[in-house]
Amino acid sequence: MHKSLWTESVELPSFPTLDKNIKTDVLIIGGGICGILCTYFLKQSGLNCVLLEKDRICGGTTQNTTAKITSLHGLVYKDLIKNFGKETAQKYFCANEDAIKKYSELSRNIDCDFEFQTACTYSRDNIKIIQEEFNALNSLGANAKMMLESSLPIGFKGAVGLDNQAQFNPLKFLKAIVKDLPIYENTPVIEVTSEGAICSKYKVKAEKIIVATHFPFINKHGNYFIKLYQHRSYVIALENAQNVDGMYVDDDELGLSFRTSGNLLLLGGGGERTGKKCGGWAELERFARKHYPKSKIKYKWAAQDCMSLDKIPYIGLYYKNNPNLYVATGFNKWGMTSSMVAATVLCDMINGKENDYADIFSPSRSIITPQLFINGVETISNFVIPTRRRCPHLGCALKWNKHEHSWDCSCHGSRFGEDGSLLNNPATKGLKE
């Protein structure tokens, strides 16, 4: 089992397992950074709330992030303006900028290696798309800048940059945030009902519920199994490598990511849609041997991200006919910033406060996009593949991941160990259960 840099530097506190029936105003399901921030803000607002985590808090994507806090999400703004209009793009930008400010405020009294950086999206071969994103950002008042050179060991045609973005150690941050929060670990939710949730032995009665489980696990509502797919990517932390000035990401979804943490260079990439063939750590190691020949790998890990249909997360009512069930998912590889956005939006919604950004993240918005067709083709093709290994989520064929020795589902991203144990949701049980 590979462990990230963050898990090696922090020991999170343990929380008890639920041992009785309880009642609360708000139940949060899922103990990643999104669920924890929701719990933190709801408790601050005076509401009685409880968080349930099926294993240990921060045991999934949160501990495997590259921990960039930024509003620059690849080349998203030119597409947002084209597909949704300038007002939606403006709200998306402002929501993420507000999230950065909130992290900055909370981190003032937390030793979590928080530091402001310039975030950059570069293209190796297409200056035109960089210029278009630069123009789109500045039309929103973002004060973006064009960059034609950098400290990276690879050449590029150009990059668009934003100052006053940030990076941090997420587990150091969360170790402080979870203090005194009402959390139960090793408490999986079996079913959500109109009155609350049923765990393996006990029940939680709740007026409102937030599902913050990365990929939503309730299939009968919301159509998240067609609105989301998952993307797996890989990271190596290099010692004796170059200290890059800023945070960098390729415009190509399959490109590379760079940032520095202390004396280590975090190099990310090698990914693909979960269940598809990819370069994995081997691709990153080849890059390191070529460009950083004196470097040494200190840590290596993998991350998994939920990708929405239109590059905007789903934050709000799980489905429009239930005013008491909420969701936060589809963060498109930008989970640190989007988790803060989700926590503030959902806290306002639950407290009956108007939120300026809630409408653009509504999970009930139109799903008619090209990605919907791609997801449909992927699901149908995997249903008809004859194989003994089937995903217990919705029955798709599983494929062997040679990099991590796991069985992966390319339909929705569930993953299983060699022994059949569940590694990643939306499946709720292993292959042998």
Q: Domains, the chain, ranges and CATH?
A: 11-65+172-227+310-361 (3.50.50.60), 370-424 (2.102.10.10)
Q: How far apart are CA 59 and CA 304, in angstroms?
A: 12
Query: Which amino acid makes up residue 80?
Result: L
For the chain, 433 residues long, the average pLDDT of each consecutive 10-residue run is 87 96 98 98 98 96 96 97 97 98 97 97 94 98 92 90 98 97 97 93 97 92 91 95 92 89 95 88 95 96 94 97 96 97 98 97 90 79 70 82 85 83 84 69
Return the exposure string of 404-430: e unless at least 16 CB atoms fall within 10 Å of the residue's CB, then b: bebbbbbbbbbbbeeeeebbbbbbbee
Question: Given this model, what pLDDT does residue 384 score?
Answer: 61
Question: Given this model, what pLDDT does residue 58 score?
Answer: 97
Q: How many residues does the chain have?
A: 433
Question: Given this model, what pLDDT does residue 391 score?
Answer: 81
Question: Given this model, what pLDDT does residue 94 score?
Answer: 98
Question: Given this model, what pLDDT does residue 383 score?
Answer: 63
Would you say 379 and 396 are in contact if contact means Cβ atoms under 8 Å apart?
yes
Query: Which amino acid makes up residue 369?
Result: T
Q: What is the DSSP letter of 151?
A: S
How far is C-alpha 94 from the chain's CA centre? 19
- Nearest CA among 229, 309, 240, 236 for reference residue 272: 229
Whole-model pTM: value is: 0.93
Question: Given this model, what pLDDT does residue 1 score?
Answer: 53
**DSSP SS3 for 281:** helix
